Amino acid sequence: MSIDEKYDHKWGYSDTQFEVRPNKAVIFTGDRYELCGYEIPGLIPFVEDIFEVELDLDSPKALAEPPVLPEPKIEPKFKAAMETIFGEERLLTDDRQRLIHSHGQTTADEVYQVLYSSIERVCDLVVFVETEDEVAQLVKAATEHDVCLVPYGGGTSVSCALKLPSDETRTIVVVDMRKLSKIVEVDKENLKATVQAGITGSALEEQLAAYGVMCGHEPDSMEFSTLGGWIATNASGMKKNRYGNIEQIVESITMVTPKGEIKQLSSLPRTSLGIAPKQLSFGSEGNLGFITKAVINVHPRPAVTKFDSLVFKDWETGVEFMRQLSKAKVLPASIRLVDNIQFRSGQALKPAPDKKEELIGKAQKNFLTKVKKFDPYKMVAATIMMEGSKAEVDFQNSQIKKLASKFGAVVGGASNGKRGYMLTYAIAYIRDFLNTYEIIGETYETTVPWDKIIQVCEAVDKRAKELHAKHGLPGVPYVSPRVTQTYHTGVCIYFTHGFSCKGVENPGELFAEIERDLRQTILDNGGSLSHHHGIGKLRAEFMDQVISESSIDLVKDIKKAADPDNIFGIGNGVLAAQND
């Protein structure tokens, strides 16, 4: 993927966005997604109804003028060393590249600021590394000349992990890893592959397909995020039930630090090494070094992929179904439960039906509301994706349907299941589209025990409405949970939260303030600080509530041992305070 295929600052591909037509319908441009290419008449009415505001479609929010960046400050001896390694043409100091590489995708603290105001600190130099040897030389030169290095993968972080420390006075060099993107080796007999860490999820799967295998790690960001970024944030994917979270997928890791390479000399299925150095890479968030390479598990490509969907009468019923399915040990590759608001939002994103579709839709609605007595403002849906051999998929399908019938579920069918699964890739585009009409929003994820799911959801909903009223915000807030990953002892919940900020002063700052309050609400009611987005700077202030003081000291001591001069000075997690 070339840098010009992506938006500079918003999410996604530059040929893909939601646009309003004169008839108030919306179209998703391009041809990359199933949502693309048809008019969507229901989205604007749904948004106006759910937020209880009227969008001013004739006056989209004006983007800020491109900021005038300060002249880059590059330590002269370091620059000379870089020219020897990379040549002048690969040392980028133009304003566009510096700004692109100085933020991630956190709504209020980064995207909103760069689009509608400005950001505090930009990097001085951008370098695209192409070999592992270049990485080692770069780290050596930065150590010799006291330069701050920041690893950059796909730029998809939503935890402010890429937000540069505003008080960093040294030269900041952002190192783009995406040209370090080769598959070094595929071992089909042992089902593993050695892969450079700058490869994106989409490129990884495309290249592995030539060998007849796949990785299966599918985060919402897989088109843009990288293998190194997945490791650095301890990521999870939509199909983790079948293929595992990133810590289960990765067999060994190479990370270059100022003290040298951290790696296991041989990559084996499992070893007992005492304190395993590779564990330092997971969740390292750019604090320790460059993740350059990993050995990952791969799998034969599935013979069958099948989608399905279920509709339940309410959230509580859907949650209990998910719990019982988890206990039955027949989880499909992916199963996600969306609440009523997201169920209705999915309907709002459909094209205008033809006469036949309209008749079928009415019949389905009558069956749900008249026969099954489902309340249209309470019913929820589960989207299902099964992969494997025909026998595996058939067995999962039969067991899921058998259990679903005990909960009075209605089968929604494969097309709705596939549609719900694929809608995930459009969420960030919708966020940026609504930003232009002064609705600001973001997702928060957390891990919750089974017995706290309802409590956490109700507490977040209640607190969001209280804060909305406290600040006198227009309309009502959008607060909507979905269960995305399931475990033996609990689940991952994604909350989508947003509100109209029309006429609100400093909406980005206010959103960030409300988000912090809601994060505390999640913690107070038994949820985790993060399930897979990581800590970054966004959640660093809460770390003393989730790990002990001695644990925090241990992490800081590891940092001092691996990087005594703080060359990797991005300052995330418990190390954020070092840059305050």
Helix (H) or strand (E) holding 439, with range, is strand 439-449
Torsion of CA 560, 561, 567, 573, to 10 degrees: -50
Spatial distance between the Cα atoms of 127 and 177, rounded to a whole number of angstroms: 9
Identity of the amino acid at 374: F
Spatial distance between the Cα atoms of 371 and 499, rounded to a whole number of angstroms: 36
Nearest to 481 by CA among 491, 470, 472, 471: 491
CB 39 within 8 A of CB 351: yes
Per-position b or e across 481-507, b if 16+ CB within 10 A of its CB: bbbbbbbeebbbbbbbbbbbbbebeeb
Catalytic residue among 112, 425, 444, 494: 494
- Cβ atoms within 10 Å of 541's Cβ, excluding its own: 14
Spatial distance between the Cα atoms of 3 and 100, rounded to a whole number of angstroms: 10
Helix (H) or strand (E) holding 517, with range, is helix 507-524
CATH class name, domain 437-528: alpha beta
Q: In this predicted structure, what is the pLDDT of residue 354?
A: 84
Cα 109 versus chain centre, distance: 16
**Token pair listed for 149:** 């290095």
CB 569 within 8 A of CB 289: no
For the question of residue 112 being annotated catalytic, the response is no
CB 379 within 8 A of CB 340: yes
Nearest to 183 by CA among 171, 200, 159: 200
- Length of the chain in terms of residues written: 580
183-300 belongs to CATH 3.40.50.970: no
Q: In this predicted structure, what is the pLDDT of residue 580?
A: 40
At which residue do the structure tokens 């084996």 appear? 268
Q: Which residues pair with 175 in a beta bridge?
A: 127, 151
250-257 vs 172-176, strand pairing mode = unpaired
Nearest to 307 by CA among 411, 428, 454: 411
Express the helix, strand and coil content of the chain in percent, nearest 5 each.
40, 20, 40
Spatial distance between the Cα atoms of 536 and 539, rounded to a whole number of angstroms: 6
Cα 356 versus chain centre, distance: 38
Domain locations along the chain: 3-48, 183-300, 304-422, 437-528
Nearest to 407 by CA among 444, 380, 369, 437: 380
Q: Which residues pair with 384 in a beta bridge?
A: 308, 335
Residues 4, 5, 6, 7: is their CA dihedral positive or negative?
Answer: positive
Spatial distance between the Cα atoms of 456 and 479, rounded to a whole number of angstroms: 12
**Phi, psi torsion values for 447, nearest 5 degrees:** -100, 135
**Phi, psi torsion values for 135, nearest 5 degrees:** -60, -45
Nearest to 18 by CA among 5, 4, 7, 8: 7
Q: Which residues pair with 443 in a beta bridge?
A: 496
Helix axes 453-470, 315-328, angle to 10 degrees: 140
Which CATH architecture is the domain 304-422 placed in? 2-Layer Sandwich (3.30)
**Token pair listed for 6:** 């992506």
Spatial distance between the Cα atoms of 431 and 46, rounded to a whole number of angstroms: 15
CATH class name, domain 3-48: alpha beta
Spatial distance between the Cα atoms of 438 and 454, rounded to a whole number of angstroms: 31
91-92 vs 125-128, strand pairing mode = antiparallel
Alpha helices in 88-239 (DSSP H): 95-100, 112-116, 132-145, 201-209, 227-233
CB 349 within 8 A of CB 423: yes
Q: What is the mean pLDDT of each run of 10 residues along the chain (580 residues)?
A: 80 96 95 94 97 95 89 96 93 96 95 91 97 97 98 97 96 97 98 98 98 97 97 97 97 97 91 90 98 98 97 98 96 97 94 86 88 95 97 97 97 94 94 96 96 98 98 97 97 97 94 97 98 97 97 97 97 77
At which residue do the structure tokens 């293998």 appear? 227
Q: In this predicted structure, what is the pLDDT of residue 356?
A: 85
Taking CA atoms, 348 is separated from 36, 42, 46, in Å, by 14, 5, 6
Spatial distance between the Cα atoms of 317 and 399, rounded to a whole number of angstroms: 17
Q: In this predicted structure, what is the pLDDT of residue 297?
A: 98
